[in-house]
Amino acid sequence: MIPVDFDYHLFGTHVRFGEGAAHALGDELRARGLKRPAVLTQDRIASAPPYVALLRSLDGMAVLQRAGIPAHSSVSLIETMAPEIAAFGADCLVAVGGGSVADTAKALALLLAEGGRLADHVTVFQPPSTVYIPRRIEAKLPIIAVPTTASGAETTSSFGVRDGGHDKLMFWNRQVSAAAILIDPLLSQDVPLATMRYTAMNGVAHCLESLYSKGRSVVSDGMAMQGVALFAQALGSPLPEETVQRRLILAAAHVSGMALAMARSCLHHAICHVVGARLNLPHGLVNTVILPHALRFNETVAGPLLAPALDCVNRSGARSARRYDSLSDWLARTADDLDLPRRLRDLGVPADVLPDIAGHVMTERGLALNPRPVAVASDVLAILRQAF
């Protein structure tokens, strides 16, 4: 079933989904009494006609534009931009793009409100299961998100930013999830279909980790299952027509982000954060490679929690007469069908960095909610070697 347009309010957030939704950006700001947006995006998007059309909806407003947001963002960039945005007097942040742009907006909202250095506000993980989140309660600038990929980052209160040493600093603040989300499938037309597909694998990871996270609930389970059904339809054989595929992926990404915002991430995302940041690799591609192997590690204890998702995938696969014995099998076959990378070596990862990556993963907060305890770095190293 192709998702129909939707428009809803939930706990103060307004979400619009449908062709042309991005052109409502100006109306969204005016409805909130906002007049001085700082618009953040990536260079590729800033030069595209849909972005220029989106900016026209802001006619009559004072607009500060900042392109050039890099993958995984950057502490130094954020600490440089924050004084510029403060001097401009921005009353909101508009994030147009993928997860790195959304995370940049969150980091700016936090830093502008709380001051100091970004590292002053980092979340700290103390093994085996304690996560310390600094109490930061100053009012934050509202974020209006216009996502172009399947990251789902705009829905969550969590974000990561790469520091100068190529580590990803992780943060959480309840005030930085987007106040409005405008999801426009037409805006993704300039995003390569391969990129949409591998960011979709990140969305699948959101759903599956949500189903077995120690933070899960009946509410996040429902969102996660809806996301699995939509992703299975979008990525399954035979593949839908491209326009339909993009629409399915973006709708699925939204509900998968909602699920992750509730349940929070686990071991899989902990590994992906370290690999992506240290080697400057796209988060979605790393997700595509790591997910089947991280899933196998957890399936030994989380199989019953994942069983409904496996049933859903097999029902979706009935149209191609396929049946899968496990979700990890489904993911591996799907990556093959979509011609996505299957191995870390395919991404240019050298074998000799794997022990160092495993050691850094042990400092990641996602381990706190993983259903299977991760006691030693050798557990992580075994997953990395399987993925290599």
pLDDT in tens, 210-229: 999 999 999 999 999 999 99
Which amino acid does the sequence have at 372?
Answer: R
Integer Cα distance of 199 and 150 in angstroms: 5
Cross-strand partners of 103: none
Q: Which of 86, 45, 90 is nearest to 68 (CA)?
A: 45
Round the CA-based radius of gyration of the chain to a whole number and report it.
Answer: 20
pLDDT in tens, 249-306: 999 999 999 999 999 999 999 999 999 999 999 999 999 999 999 999 999 999 999 9
Residue 318 above 70 pLDDT? no
Pure H helices in 213-362: 218-235, 242-263, 267-279, 283-316, 327-337, 354-361
Q: Which two tokens mark 194? A: 């391969």
| DSSP designation for 57 | T
72: left (phi over 0), alpha (psi -120 to 50) or beta: left
- What pLDDT band is residue 238 in, cutting at 50, 70 and 90? confident
* Domains of the chain in sequence order: 14-186 (3.40.50.1970), 192-387 (1.20.1090.10)
Integer Cα distance of 56 and 200 in angstroms: 30
Pure H helices in the chain: 25-31, 43-46, 49-56, 75-88, 99-114, 193-212, 218-235, 242-263, 267-279, 283-316, 327-337, 354-361, 377-387
Residue 350 above 90 pLDDT? yes
Task: Map residue 333 onto helix, strand or coil.
Answer: helix
Mean pLDDT estimate for the chain: 95
Q: Which of 152, 164, 161, 178 is nearest to 104 (CA)?
A: 161
